[in-house]
């Protein structure tokens, strides 16, 4: 018995030592998303894994709450702090509510960046935008306006009311509305990046605004749910669904005519770039204004005075090119 116990103890120590030495070498980067089960973030995770493979000795912890709340993300952050991860790269459900938890992470030596949907400056070392906010704001209005030669009513179906990215894009869209005199924005509603709530909100818009010509959803979850609601209401050809979507999810909507066109950037590249940035900052890259931080095959991110960098321009998808992209993301 005694011998057995000694052997077991020795084995346990050996396992513990192996675990310690492995964790000393491996950089653990948590990719924290708004919620689980969103295709956009799953595509970003593919990019994160690609970056990890390229860097070597990097483990990606893909995680997020079950729904798109700041409370859920705070729990996730606290658990990552307890696990002692090396870096957190987060797409935030709220710019301010996460700041105390993320500050605690930074105090413990964890590198913190936001990507996709930003955290206020006090809660992160840098933020990576997918593209210029102004450009995205103009793009989502133009996508609708291009198919409304006579103008008319449009409504926005967003994600959560506190999402940093959607709120910034909507503000930018509202700012360019005077350049589209025939376009009348009648409402902005929130589907919380939940399919069923987004579907019901889209139905509500069609009921409240019978002359609605377009639903603009700057969220991959919302645009797909709106397409379904318009299809089920028999309003294809009457209400055009547009905004930001994934070609893989939107192919059927383009084929049916529920969606004339929509836009997005490459989510795989975004997850890849966020991982590269988290890794390089963890290894000492400067996050001062003007700093250039390498993002592997993408090139460098240049930080502005708010510690923010932007990637590429969004790309527009329609019947002419959807086939080519639907198997990629």
Q: How many residues bind ligand RAM (CB under 6 A)?
A: 13
Extract the tokens encoding 164: 């940093």
C-beta of 56: minimal distance to ligand RAM in Å? 29
Helix intervals (H) in the chain: 2-25, 39-55, 70-83, 99-107, 133-145, 164-176, 195-208, 220-232, 247-256, 267-282, 322-325
Interacting residues with ligand RAM between 265 and 294 (CB under 6 A): none
The binder of ligand RAM chosen from 86, 193, 201, 269 (CB under 6 A): 193
Min. distance of Cβ 250 from ligand RAM in angstroms? 12
Q: What is the DSSP string of 22-51?
A: HHHHSEEEEEE-SSTT-HHHHHHHHHHHHH
Question: According to the binding rule CB under 6 A, does residue 198 interact with ligand RAM?
Answer: no
x/- site string to ligand RAM, residues 60 to 99, per CB under 6 A? -------------------------------x--------
Residue placing its CB nearer to ligand RAM in the complex, 34 or 213: 34
State the virtual CA torsion across 309, 143, 184, 182 in degrees, nearest 10.
120
User: Taking the mean position of all CA atoms in its chain, how far away is CA 142?
Assistant: 22
Q: Does residue number 40 form part of the binding site for ligand RAM (CB under 6 A)?
A: yes
Distances (CA, A) of 260 to 153, 247, 263, 320: 17, 13, 11, 10
> What is the C-alpha end-to-end distance of the chain, expressed in Å?
57
Minimum CB distance to ligand RAM, residue 101 (Å): 19
Establish if 45 lies at the interface with ligand RAM (CB under 6 A).
no
Q: Which stretch binds ligand RAM (CB under 6 A): 118-126, 139-147, 216-224, 300-308?
A: 216-224
Work out whether 38 is an interface residue with ligand RAM (CB under 6 A). Answer: yes
Q: Work out which of 92, 221, 273, 276 binds ligand RAM, going by CB under 6 A.
A: 221
Question: What is the smallest separation between the CB atom of 299 and ligand RAM, expressed in angstroms?
Answer: 21
Q: How far apart are CA 98 and CA 120, in angstroms?
A: 9
Least distance from C-beta 144 to ligand RAM, angstroms? 16
What does the alpha-carbon distance between residue 157 and residue 328 come to, in Å, rounded to a whole number?
A: 25
Output 27 or 73, the one with its CB closest to ligand RAM. Answer: 73
Rounded CA-CA distance 302/290 in Å is 6
Among 117, 131, 133, 280, binds ligand RAM (CB under 6 A): 117
Residue 201 binds ligand RAM, judged by CB under 6 A: no
**Angle CA(124)–CA(125)–CA(128) in degrees, nearest 5?**
85
Stretch of 7-15, 34-42, 119-127, 307-315 contacting ligand RAM, by CB under 6 A: 34-42
Site residues, ligand RAM (CB under 6 A): 34, 38, 40, 91, 116-117, 159, 165, 193, 219-221, 244
């Amino acid at each position: 018995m005694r011998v057995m116990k000694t052997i077991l103890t020795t084995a346990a120590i050996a396992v513990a030592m192996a675990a310690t030495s492995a964790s000393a070498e491996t950089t653990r980067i948590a990719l924290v998303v708004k919620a689980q089960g969103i295709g956009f973030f799953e595509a970003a995770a593919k990019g994160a894994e690609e970056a990890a493979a390229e860097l070597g000795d990097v483990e990606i912890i893909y995680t997020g709450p079950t729904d798109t709340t700041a409370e859920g993300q705070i729990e996730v952050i606290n658990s990552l702090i307890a696990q002692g991860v090396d870096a957190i790269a987060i797409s935030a459900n709220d710019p301010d509510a996460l700041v105390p938890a993320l500050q605690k992470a930074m105090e413990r030596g964890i590198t913190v960046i936001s990507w996709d949907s930003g955290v206020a400056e006090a809660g992160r070392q840098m933020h990576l935008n997918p593209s210029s906010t102004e450009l995205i704001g103009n793009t989502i209005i133009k996508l609708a306006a291009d198919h409304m030669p006579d103008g008319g009513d449009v409504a926005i179906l967003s994600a959560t009311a506190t999402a940093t990215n959607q709120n910034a894009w909507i503000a930018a869209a509202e700012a360019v509305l005077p350049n589209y005199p025939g376009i009348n924005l009648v409402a902005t509603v929130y589907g919380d990046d939940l399919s069923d709530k987004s579907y019901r909100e889209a139905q509500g818009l069609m009921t409240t605004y019978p002359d609605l010509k377009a639903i603009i959803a700057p969220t991959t979850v919302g645009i797909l749910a709106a397409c379904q609601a318009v299809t089920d209401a028999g309003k294809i050809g009457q209400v055009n669904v547009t905004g930001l979507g994934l070609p893989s999810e939107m192919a059927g909507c383009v084929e049916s005519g529920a969606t004339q066109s929509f836009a997005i950037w490459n989510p795989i590249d975004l997850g890849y770039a966020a991982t590269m940035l988290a890794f390089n900052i963890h290894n000492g890259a400067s996050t001062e204004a003007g700093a250039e931080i390498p993002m592997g095959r993408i090139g460098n991110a240049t930080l502005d005075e708010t510690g923010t960098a932007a990637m590429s321009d969004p790309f527009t998808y329609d019947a002419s090119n959807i086939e080519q992209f639907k198997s990629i993301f």
